Structure formats: structure tokens, C-alpha cells
């Protein structure tokens, strides 16, 4: 039996580079090249059923992971509410209000200083 690569002929690329990108070594003893991602077809119902069960188990595991993440997020939010921690949006709103109040206070302080200067000038004059 002649062992030949399963790669299409692509002009411009060296053979070794082409084989390394598209194929992996499957059986080092037989030196066969098998395309990455290819699945072996069987007529064995036991293996087919086993593969189906493993696929379903992987899907179930992802569902459990999503459920666990949602549960942990809810628990963390519950703990933060219990610690009386402020939410980011509320903090930013209060920070903005404080900045505006400081600006208004500075403007009023400048106005009071100008009025005091005016009063002092009228008393002298």
C-alpha cells in the first residue's frame, strides 16, 4: 500500500509547511497523515451511542457552568447589598453633583469677595 499525503496541491508553498498547517501526525508508526478535525466513521452502534452521550454531556456541562456563573453572580450581588456598598452609577451621580456644588461655591465665594471689596471701597470714598 502506498502512503500518500491527503493535501491538495497548492502552488507556491513548500510541502512540509502545507502538511504542518493542515495535517497532524496521527500514527507515528504507520506514518499516516490524517486531516485535523476529521472524525473516524464507524459502524459500531456502541461507539456511536457513546459519542452521542459524550456530546450531550458536554452540552450539559456548559449549561451547568452557565447556571453556576449566574448563581455566583446573584450571590455576590446579595452580599454587596448586605454590606451597604454603593453602585457605580449612584457613585458617579453623587460625584457629579459634588463637582457642580464646588463650582457653585467657588463662584459664590468670588461674588462675596467682589461685594466686600465694593463695600470697602464705598466706605473709604
Cell numbers describing residue 120: 470697602
Top pLDDT among 22 and 105 is at 105
pLDDT value of position 27:
46
pLDDT value of position 95:
97
pLDDT value of position 6:
52
Domain boundaries, the chain: 1-38, 43-85, 86-124
pLDDT value of position 33:
54
**CA-closest candidate to residue 81, choices 92, 90, 94:** 90
* Whole-number Å distance between alpha carbons of 4 and 19: 12
Q: What is the pLDDT of residues 42-80, one digit of tens each?
A: 678 888 888 889 999 988 999 999 999 999 999 998 888
pLDDT value of position 65:
93
Amino acid at each position: 500500500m502506498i502512503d500518500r499525503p491527503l493535501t491538495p496541491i497548492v502552488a507556491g508553498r513548500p510541502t512540509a509547511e502545507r502538511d504542518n498547517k493542515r495535517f497532524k501526525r496521527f500514527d507515528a508508526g504507520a506514518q499516516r497523515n490524517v486531516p485535523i478535525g476529521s472524525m473516524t466513521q464507524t459502524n459500531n452502534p456502541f461507539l456511536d451511542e457513546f459519542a452521542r452521550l459524550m456530546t450531550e454531556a458536554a452540552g450539559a456541562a456548559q449549561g451547568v457552568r452557565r447556571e453556576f456563573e449566574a448563581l455566583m453572580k446573584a450571590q455576590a450581588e446579595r452580599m454587596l447589598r448586605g454590606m451597604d456598598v454603593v453602585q457605580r452609577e449612584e457613585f458617579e451621580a453623587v460625584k457629579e453633583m459634588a463637582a457642580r456644588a464646588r463650582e457653585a461655591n467657588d463662584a459664590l465665594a468670588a461674588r462675596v469677595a467682589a461685594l466686600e471689596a465694593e463695600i470697602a471701597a464705598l466706605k473709604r470714598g
